[in-house]
Amino acid sequence: MRRSFRSAPPLRRSRLVRQLFLLQVVTVLLTVGRLAALGGYGASRLEHDAAGRLTAAIALSLASEPEVVDAVRDGGGVATLSARLQPLAERVRRATNTGFIVVMSPQGIRYSHYNPDEIGLPYQGNIVPALAGRTSTEVYTGTLGPSVRTVTPVLVDGRIAAVVSVGVLQTRISDLALRSLPGIAVAAVVAVLIGSGLAVVLARRLRRQTLGLEPEDITAAYTHHEAVLHAVGEGLLVVDGDGRLVVVNAEARRLLGLPVHSVDAGDPALPGRPVSALGIDPAVAAVLGSGLREDLHDRPALAGERVLLVNSRHAGPAAGPGTRVFTLRDRTELAGVLRERDEARDTVAALSGQAHEFGNRLQTVLTLIELGDTADAAAAGTAALDRTRGPGARIVAEVYDPVLAALLADKAWQASEQDVTLTVTDDCDPDVLPGPRLPFAADDLVSLAGNLVDNAIEVVAGRSGERSVAVVLRTTADGSELLLEVADSGPGVPPDTARELFTFGFSTRATPGSRPRGIGLALVDRISRRLGGSVTVGTRGDGSGALFTVRLPIPDTATTDAPVAPTTNGR
């Protein structure tokens, strides 16, 4: 089977890439040029320093040379001293390749010189340091041109009898420095070629990575990416092949409880960190870990008290090997919507049945009136009116907390439609409660009571024999705890199962292809622990059925009047 691959989009010519390439080439040329100039200057300085050391060594050697000292001690005229010193000076000059060697009197009259015509003439240079007994090196322009020269005294019996000056012409120094220029030039050319080659490679790589886009195009693409990413209603995570987070949008942060991104504070969370080190709920982390190895489709995971549906897919070859895209949906809200739909449908069905039954009873009342039996007609009408009030009327009047009263009244209607008897007993002591209602958030009460009652009704519905659910609300004798007890006449919970009953995903009634179960009781357990309490399961007093007990410590003041939130059931 042939496999077709979509070709990559053609790369455009980029003004940005060209500008960067030219900038890099100019930078290379300027850098190499400066380095070459520094190299030439350094070579010249080295030769200059070498010339100074050479002239100093020769001058000091000649000043102590016995032949020079003897000639100066013997004395004589300029011609006599020149005849003895000129040959020696020229011999040393040629041997050392220096520019000139001058031996002179303390008054500066030359006894030797490279140009014999200069013998007997005054020396052009500074001999003051030598007359003071010091050796000095300087650059001076004499009869032969600029030179580096060293002047030192000749001592005879402790007195300065003559002065020796040895010099190297600047032209000689320049010639020596020029010998280094070919090497410097070759190195500069090589550096320019390498720098230009690297600039070409970098420009091509940059063009591939930016797809030839200009800066304004990149800015617009990034802005649109951020807008779309954070406008998506689902949580979105992109994780690379090493398990590190690459992209996370605002909805995913909210669902997972991660720090919210702030432009001012920077991003404290997350990209680049391993998924296992995000500090999220272990149940969610385990599902995300499995999603790195396989595709997931609506895998449920419990993040705190929020049920998430997790999906995982490969991101494609362009994103890198092993990169995966995760989407997170809040099933808690979805389940709430579905639950409201089911409850509305059940209510409609109940109202239809009641309307049919009320019609029959009304027809009976009318017939009795026509027959003149008013007493039986009144009794039948009263019975029909009591029937329409249903079991919820007594619950609303009896239950202390209005939120729980409304919830349990609705559950009573649902139970009656499934031929299940729901009884509610409220033994709470108003004197120990801190307000006109239970001191807990409304959505917490609804989740706790709703999930437990729904499970109990589902267990006993359709069974033969007794079908009853009993709800008891009471406060402990010392007023420190609120107890919510839900008992059913079902088969009960085996002791070995009771240990796992509150584990997310565990259910005794799960069937292949059915809706996800094992969520409601896990939520009850987490909410109870968050409120500082606990939930346990046992048996009723008669030894049959199941008894769930939620124990919650009563705070000093009411916490909040939070609105009722949708709940998710399932044992």
Domains of the chain in sequence order:
22-178 (3.30.450.20), 236-327 (3.30.450.20), 391-553 (3.30.565.10)
Euclidean distance between CA atoms 567 and 447, whole angstroms = 5
In sequence order, what DSSP letters do the residues of 254-296 get, joined into one string? HHHTPPPPBTTTB--S-TTSBGGGS---HHHHHHHHHHTTS-E
Are 20 and 191 in contact, with CB atoms under 8 Å apart?
no
What are the start-end ranges of the H helices in 161-214? 170-178, 181-210
Residues 6+ apart with CB under 8 A from 118: 110, 143
What separation, in Å, do the N-terminal and C-terminal C-alpha atoms of the chain show?
49
- H or E segment and range at residue 237: strand 235-239
Residue 559 CB-density burial (10 A; 0-12 exposed, 13-18 middle, 19+ buried) = middle
Give the number of other CB atoms < 10 A from CB of residue 433: 18
Strands (E), 289-387: 296-303, 306-314, 324-330
CA–CA separation, 16 and 198 (whole Å): 17
pLDDT digits (tens, 9 = 90+) for 284-343: 888 888 888 888 887 877 776 677 888 888 877 766 788 888 888 877 665 555 556 655
Distance in angstroms (rounded) separating the CA atoms of residues 383 and 442: 35
Classify 497 as helix, strand or coil.
helix
To 5 degrees, how large is the angle CA 204–CA 208–CA 212?
Answer: 95
Closest CA to 28 of 158, 190, 195: 195
Residue ranges with strand state E in 132-179: 136-142, 145-156, 159-169
Residues facing 307 on adjacent strands: 302
Q: Are 434 and 557 in contact (CB under 8 A)?
A: yes
Q: Is 81 helix (H, G, I), strand (E, B) or coil?
A: helix
Alpha carbons 559 and 476: distance in angstroms, whole number: 20
Nearest residue to 305 (alpha-carbon basis) of 481, 523, 483, 496: 523
> Tens-of-pLDDT digits for all 571 residues of the chain?
344 434 444 555 667 667 777 777 778 778 777 777 766 666 667 767 777 788 888 888 888 888 888 888 888 888 888 888 888 888 888 888 887 888 888 888 888 888 888 888 888 888 888 888 888 888 877 777 777 888 899 888 888 888 998 888 766 656 555 566 676 677 777 777 787 777 777 777 777 766 666 666 666 666 666 666 666 778 888 888 888 888 888 888 888 877 765 433 445 456 778 877 777 877 788 888 888 888 888 787 777 667 788 888 887 776 678 888 888 887 766 555 555 665 566 556 555 655 655 666 666 767 767 777 677 666 666 655 555 555 555 666 677 788 888 888 878 877 877 888 888 888 888 877 777 778 888 888 888 888 888 888 888 887 788 888 889 888 888 888 888 999 888 888 877 776 677 776 556 554 444 444 567 788 888 888 888 888 888 888 777 888 889 999 988 754 444 444 444 443 3
- Is 176 in contact with 169 (CB distance < 8 Å)? no
pTM of the model: 0.46
| Residue 501 CB partners (closer than 8 Å, separation 6+) | 493, 508, 521, 537, 571
Which amino acid is located at 151 in the chain?
Answer: V
- Strand-pairing partners, residue 188, are none
Amino acid in the structure at residue 124:
Q
